[in-house]
Structure 1
Amino acid sequence: MKAISYSRYGGPEVLAFGEVRDPKVGPDAVLVKVRAAAVNPVDWKAREGYLDGILAPVFPVVPGWDVSGVVVRPGVAVSEYEVGDEVIGYVREDFLSRGTFAEYVAAPVRTLARKPRNLSFEEAAGLPLVGLTAHQVLSKVLQVRRGETVLVHAAAGGVGSIAVQLGVHLGARVIGTASERNHDFVRGLGGEPVVYGEGLGERVRGLAPEGVDAAFDTVGGDALKVSANLLAPEGRLASIADNDVVTYGGRYYFVRPDAQDLQHLADLAEQGVVGVHVDETFPLERAADAHRMNQEGRTRGKIVVTVGWGSEGEGEGE
């Protein structure tokens, strides 16, 4: 099958488009014909070797954890899905090798949910990692409750934009940091935008004089420090970007695959509670450009890689 892969750590230039071995489908997995795969910061961080301490690479590595596609073959122990089912997944294993930037991926059922029927494959591919991250942090770590005030950093980004929508759904007031060009976008999600950068603390205090009940840091560094200083008494702090959060009494969190959580998000998407904004799409062979764009930051919503299929691509990747 055709895929993007890399055989050594490095910049986007190490990504190559070409033939790789077809994936084997384990008993508890399904073979998914990939329609789209979203790009996340963790993808280029893994490509550059930053995750080497926790995830061993098996080169060549096919990058990507987010996927939307169609089941073409269930594993022998799988009863949850049948051929033709449309699915989404956060297909992360405990090593780097068999990613989603490919024509096919063998996805364990524990990583999958049914694709929201009202989302395109491109939109659906952008939901799993960011949606799970936002949901797990807001509901399980910060335990946001109705009537509380929540600060979300990078509110126009992938995780931030979903966090704003989920926070509003939970009944919270959501203040979100964003550049001025993205303020209307954040308002459209239900948040109250503030410009990030110098003076952020004063601007947030102007909106929430008593402080915020919870802060969700997706940036790290100065944003984390400002967040800690903005907490109300008994306020909670979590970060997915900076493990120094523990020095402020907060919690560092790394998202995990969870089929039940992912199905919950898919259901919310079908109900119109959560939407995914796709900023730009790239064909599979231009995945390196997608990585570059994601690494530059300032993205509104998600960057997605699409896999084109003609009549010759309708097989099972045998």
Structure 2
Amino acid sequence: MKAAYISATGSPDAIQFGDAADPVPGADQVLIRVEASSVNPIDTYVRGGVIAMELPTPYFPGCDAAGVVAAVGEGVQRFAVGDRVWTTNQGLLGRQGTFAERIAVDEDWVYALPDSVSFEDAAACALVGVTAHLGLFREAQLKRGESVLVIGGSGGVGSIVVQMAAAHGARVIATAGSEEKAEKVRSFGAEEVILYKTQSIAEQVQRFAPEGVNVLWETRREPDFATSIEMLSERGRMVLMAGRDAQPPLPVGPFYVKECSLHGFVMFKATPTEMRSAAEELSQLMLDGKIRANIGARFPLDQAAEAHRLQESATLGDSDQLCGKIVVNHRMSSST
């Protein structure tokens, strides 16, 4: 089979494309013929060696994939050959990744894909959708009618948080970097969008929610806790999913006096049970049309290095080139 892989961590140039051994599903594993995968910031961190993890050799980057079951190993109970499926949480903690024509995945991390949901949409929504669900419901315990501020509403995770919160009956305000991105965020269900380059986030939030927002979803690498606590309501909850190296000061007094709570989490540490619960609800939301993929760019598998280069420029270089998720279409050729 063909695969995009690395033999050692490094820059996007470390990604090669060529032949790799076909995987054989072991006990309790599903062999998936991959139709589409996607790129996440964590994929670039693992590929670059920023996050040290045990990696197979060769290593296929990628957490997410969608495709069709080609074979099942002994003990598999939930899937059969020909089933449409999606997966996430791959390429991490010693598991092989998804940038290959076929992948063998533990059944615990595989979920049924409704017929009406495309492979590209499923791959684009996988990790970000599970992340949004865990953060909003397991961590923040979001309730219908509450208000949510999403920092970065047009991004990969942020766009799903906006949609998921709105679908749950929350009032959503989000930030965006341009009017074009703002229109997209409004289409996802945000009642108000803040153009953060020209508008004060704090002032706009005050107008939207005079008593403060109930949930603040933070995607920036350098959170501003002083301003965030001002924008939170009594017993407001702040969800952190970025800023691995950040060490900003925390105004403890205002934080505890308002009885706020801070929730930091990474989705790949969720248990299989937690992941499956989030994944099954995500599949239903996609089926119902309440969650739609925010795809910003597409690449064929043999241009995986270019896909990583674009993701890295958006994540670390704050480039405006990317709005949404990068999808890798395994049936697309570089000449398409």
Structure-1-length-normalised TM-score: 0.91
How many angstroms does 1:120 deviate by?
1.6
Question: Identity of paired residues, percent?
Answer: 36
How many angstroms does 1:118 deviate by?
2.1
What secondary structure is seen at the aligned counterpart in 2 of 1:175? strand
- Alignment CA distance shift 1:94-1:10 (3 Å): closer
Please, which runs of 5 or more residues in structure 1 have no aligned partner? 311-318
Q: Deviations over 1:258-297 (max 9, x none)?
A: 2232121111111111111222211000011111111222
Written as runs of structure 1 = structure 2, the 5 A alignment for 1:66-77 is 66-77=64-75
Higher strand share: 1
How far, CA to CA, are the matches of 1:50 and 1:205 in structure 2?
Answer: 38
- Alignment CA distance shift 1:91-1:26 (3 Å): farther
What secondary structure is seen at the aligned counterpart in 1 of 2:57? strand
User: Residue 62 of structure 2: which of 43, 64, 76 is its match?
Assistant: 64
How far, CA to CA, are the matches of 2:185 and 2:14 in structure 1?
Answer: 35
Q: Deviations over 1:45-101 (max 9, x none)?
A: 11111210xx22233211001000000001110011000000011042653451100
What secondary structure is seen at the aligned counterpart in 2 of 1:72? strand
Written as runs of structure 1 = structure 2, the 5 A alignment for 1:191-206 is 191=190, 192-197=192-197, 199-206=200-207
2:327 pairs with 1:304: yes
State the one-letter code of the partner of 2:189. Answer: G
Residue in 1 that maps onto 2:265:
253
How many angstroms does 1:224 deviate by?
5.2
Please, which runs of 5 or more residues in structure 2 have no aligned partner? 256-260, 315-319
Q: Deviations over 1:149-200 (max 9, x none)?
A: 1111111111111110110111111111111221110111110211225732
- Alignment CA distance shift 1:132-1:224 (3 Å): farther
Written as runs of structure 1 = structure 2, the 5 A alignment for 1:119-158 is 119-158=117-156
- Tell me if structure 1 keeps the 8 A contact 2:37–2:65: yes
- Tell me if structure 2 keeps the 8 A contact 1:62–1:97: no
- Alignment CA distance shift 1:278-1:116 (3 Å): farther
Residue in 2 that maps onto 1:84:
82
Q: Deviations over 1:190-231 (max 9, x none)?
A: 102112257322222232222111111122314555323311
> How large is the Cα RMSD of the aligned pairs?
2.0
Q: Which moved more, 1:200-209 or 1:110-119?
A: 200-209
2:3 pairs with 1:31: no
How many angstroms does 1:112 deviate by?
1.3
- Alignment CA distance shift 1:309-1:230 (3 Å): closer
Structure-2-length-normalised TM-score: 0.86
Written as runs of structure 1 = structure 2, the 5 A alignment for 1:232-247 is 232-242=233-243, 247=250
Number of aligned residue pairs: 308
Written as runs of structure 1 = structure 2, the 5 A alignment for 1:189-228 is 189-191=188-190, 192-197=192-197, 199-223=200-224, 225-228=226-229
Residue in 2 that maps onto 1:292:
309
Q: Which moved more, 1:98-107 or 1:236-245?
A: 236-245
- Tell me if structure 1 keeps the 8 A contact 2:89–2:127: no
User: Residue 112 of structure 2: which of 114, 121, 139 is its match?
Assistant: 114
